[in-house]
A and B are shown apart, each in its own frame.
Chain A
Amino acid sequence: MNDYPIPAIQWAQQQLSQFGRIGATRLIKVPDLAAAIGVSVGAGTLAAAPPLVWRDSGTVIAMYGQELAGTVAKFAATAFRLVLTGDVDFISNGNGGDFAPILATFGPNVNWFPMTRRVQRGDNWAVTWRNQDAAATATPAMLFAFIADTDMAKVEQDYENSRKR
């Protein structure tokens, strides 16, 4: 699959990443955990989020995440692994899938992480969380900025209008 964005998507991403202006037509959230992740034991406590099954085809243009404490220390101690459809690891150490901390991905100020991924209806993304805080539970959240294919006509029109200005 060619994930290189079409011009209108590329334009929306550029607006998002360079100017923080316009972007998603929808926000898709990884389903919440049923309970907070327990305190870290050993190398960390794992919790699999309910799978995110995409209900619409479209393009993911950015990823967002946080932890409920809202502190940099918790962002550093809460990591995630994201497996895309087809058992494709988004984060890899070269030999296999791995975890990345929220802090490394979104920074101390909770920025968006730009990405471009096409998804089809029925695609399944799996997020596993890891709490490395031995003193407290963790309640993380992850969202994706999404442009649905059904919204593309308007996005294309916006793109054309912007080029005329």
Chain B
Amino acid sequence: MVRCIYVVPGSSLLALAAATSAIVPSVSADLPFVFPRPCFVSGILVVPLFNAAAAALPTVQAGISVTVADENQEALVSDGSGFQVATVAGGLAPVAADALALGGMGFRPFPLQRHAPNLGRWVFNVQNRIASIATIAGVYLFTENA
């Protein structure tokens, strides 16, 4: 059973700039999270909050995506090619997982099976593929005792 829910620092009420197209997202700054103890990470959930152009929450949810690098700087989300997406700011961003695909309309945490060590540092980025500013409630990690 879940023992603790961690909110990734900086993700709470995080506003994301507008994307220039559905293919070119805007990307947040790195959002690092340091595990205060060894944890078994059993889930991740990204909750969108608001987007001026999209009243329906699932539409906002569909346009938000997340990347995760684990304590070894290995991408938890990847594709076969190592392809990285171009971003609004120029440069490249890691491959991201779509919040709607992960959490569904029921906002269930995406089931993970990962062990994080004491003081393990995971780094998150949140991407917005909607053509207006989007705000998220936060990125949440569901953990159990290791």
Query: A residues touching B (Cβ–Cβ < 8 Å)?
Result: 12, 15-16, 20-36, 50-55, 64-71, 106, 108-112, 124, 137, 139, 141-143, 145, 147, 151, 154-155, 158
28 example contacts (A-B, Cβ-Cβ < 8 A) are as follows A21-B111, A22-B43, A24-B113, A26-B77, A27-B77, A27-B78, A27-B102, A29-B78, A29-B79, A29-B95, A32-B23, A32-B85, A34-B23, A64-B101, A66-B100, A68-B22, A70-B54, A70-B58, A70-B61, A106-B101, A108-B105, A110-B104, A112-B104, A141-B98, A141-B101, A143-B77, A154-B115, A155-B113
The prevalent SS among residues of B at the interface is: mixed
Nearest A residue (CB) for B64 = A70
Q: Is there an interface contact between B23 and A52, defined as CB atoms closer than 8 Å?
A: no
Q: Is there an interface contact between B23 and A26, defined as CB atoms closer than 8 Å?
A: no
What CA separation (Å) do A109 and B54 show in the bound complex?
18
- Our pick among A33, A53, A145 for the contact of B80 (Cβ within 8 Å) is A53
Q: Is there an interface contact between A110 and B101, defined as CB atoms closer than 8 Å?
A: yes
Residues of chain A lying within 8 A (CB to CB) of residue B114: 25
Residues of chain B lying within 8 A (CB to CB) of residue A124: 80
Q: Is there an interface contact between A35 and B23, defined as CB atoms closer than 8 Å?
A: yes
Q: Is there an interface contact between B109 and A28, defined as CB atoms closer than 8 Å?
A: no
Interface size grouping (class) on chain B? 35 or more
On whether A28 and B78 interact (CB within 8 A), knowing A68-B22, A69-B59, A110-B101, the answer reads: yes
Nearest A residue (CB) for B106 = A109
A139 → B minimal CB distance (Å): 4
What CA separation (Å) do A104 and B98 show in the bound complex?
19
Residues of chain B lying within 8 A (CB to CB) of residue A141: 98, 101
What CA separation (Å) do A141 and B79 show in the bound complex?
12
Q: Is there an interface contact between B101 and A139, defined as CB atoms closer than 8 Å?
A: no
Q: Is there an interface contact between B105 and A28, defined as CB atoms closer than 8 Å?
A: no
Q: Is there an interface contact between B109 and A67, defined as CB atoms closer than 8 Å?
A: no
Residues of chain A lying within 8 A (CB to CB) of residue B79: 28-31, 52
Q: Is there an interface contact between A68 and B97, defined as CB atoms closer than 8 Å?
A: no
What CA separation (Å) do A50 and B95 show in the bound complex?
14
B15 → A minimal CB distance (Å): 19
Q: Is there an interface contact between A28 and B83, defined as CB atoms closer than 8 Å?
A: no
